[in-house]
């Protein structure tokens, strides 16, 4: 058998930071700061060198049409120091016609970001992405089955993408309690984020003992699948227009361990 398959390509990167932070504690430390790194627990300046992330990217190839992607990430800010960020299979057959059909299935981000186009769902443009992409990175990821239909036109491409997903009911819990943030944090599969120490969650507050002081983005509470559908247009790589409708169909009446689905 002269077939080169199966095979696996392994790559990775290490991200180190020189940090100088003051003012508020970070939201990752239950503070009100909206950046990844903030002041020390005592409220003073924080100056340190830190390993932000070490990632190993596994890309198995089972045939010319069937590939996979598994980014394994180490970060001291994760619930588990070593955890996966994504893990999916992609079927992309060669097509000589003007219509191409492909699909993906597994744990993955929806095809919404125009910034995170580099290895390990990182951005080649800036260290800190936009606020909306920061939110996508921390909460908007699920176990998904996705299909894509691409039509090649004379000088452009038009594509329709649709997906059904589970394990994403807690999306917007962190955003609702904390608000927008600016950071490059990527939610890992077993991640549990702390919620900020705001008055409504503290003793005497309206939601004290009604809302847990943490959220798990990858959790299914109501057993209802969500879906998304998007339309993309690409003109010769010079102009790109993307639109995506995303609905997790969450049922907020389903409560488990003081956590519940958010209707996004």
Q: Are 122 and 116 in contact (CB under 8 A)?
A: yes
The pLDDT value given to residue 109: 96
Residue 128: helix, strand or coil by DSSP?
coil
Euclidean distance between CA atoms 254 and 239, whole angstroms? 43
**Integer Rg of the chain from CA:** 20
Q: Are 251 and 263 in contact (CB under 8 A)?
A: yes
pLDDT per position as a tens digit, 122-135: 999 998 999 999 99
For residue 96, give every residue at least 6 positions away whose Cβ sits within 8 Å of its Cβ, in sequence order, or none: none
Euclidean distance between CA atoms 116 and 77, whole angstroms? 20
Structure token pair of residue 144: 């998904």
Residue 41 has pLDDT above 70, yes or no: no
Backbone angles phi, psi at 137, to 5 degrees: -65, -35
Provide the pLDDT confidence category of residue 10 given band limits of 50, 70 and 90: very high
pLDDT per position as a tens digit, 155-206: 999 999 999 999 999 999 999 999 999 999 999 999 999 998 888 998 889 9
Percent of the chain at pLDDT exceeding 90:
68
Cα 197 to chain centroid distance, Å, stands at 24
Q: Are 243 and 230 in contact (CB under 8 A)?
A: yes
């Amino acid at each position: 058998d002269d077939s080169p398959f199966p095979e696996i390509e392994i790559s990775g990167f290490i991200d180190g930071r020189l940090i100088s932070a003051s003012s508020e504690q970070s939201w990752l430390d239950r503070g009100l700061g909206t950046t990844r790194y903030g002041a020390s627990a005592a409220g003073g300046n924080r100056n340190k060198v830190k390993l932000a992330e070490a990632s190993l990217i596994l890309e198995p190839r089972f045939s010319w049409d069937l590939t996979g992607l598994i980014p394994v990430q180490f970060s001291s800010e994760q619930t588990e120091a070593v955890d996966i960020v994504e893990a999916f299979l992609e079927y992309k057959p060669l097509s000589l016609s003007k219509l191409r059909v492909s699909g993906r299935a597994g744990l993955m981000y929806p095809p919404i970001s125009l910034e995170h186009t580099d290895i390990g769902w990182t951005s080649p443009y800036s260290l800190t992405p936009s606020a909306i992409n920061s939110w996508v990175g921390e909460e908007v990821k699920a176990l998904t089955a996705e299909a894509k239909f691409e039509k090649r036109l004379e000088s452009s491409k038009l594509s329709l993408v649709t997906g059904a997903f589970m394990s994403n009911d807690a999306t917007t819990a962190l955003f609702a309690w904390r608000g927008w943030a600016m950071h490059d944090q990527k939610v890992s599969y077993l991640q549990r984020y702390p919620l900020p120490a705001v008055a409504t969650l503290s003793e005497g507050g309206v939601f004290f003992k009604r809302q847990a002081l943490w959220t798990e983005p990858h959790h299914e509470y109501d057993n209802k699948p969500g879906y998304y559908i998007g339309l993309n247009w690409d003109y010769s790589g010079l102009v790109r227009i993307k639109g995506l409708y995303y609905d997790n169909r969450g049922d907020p009446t389903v409560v488990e361990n003081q956590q519940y689905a958010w209707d996004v």
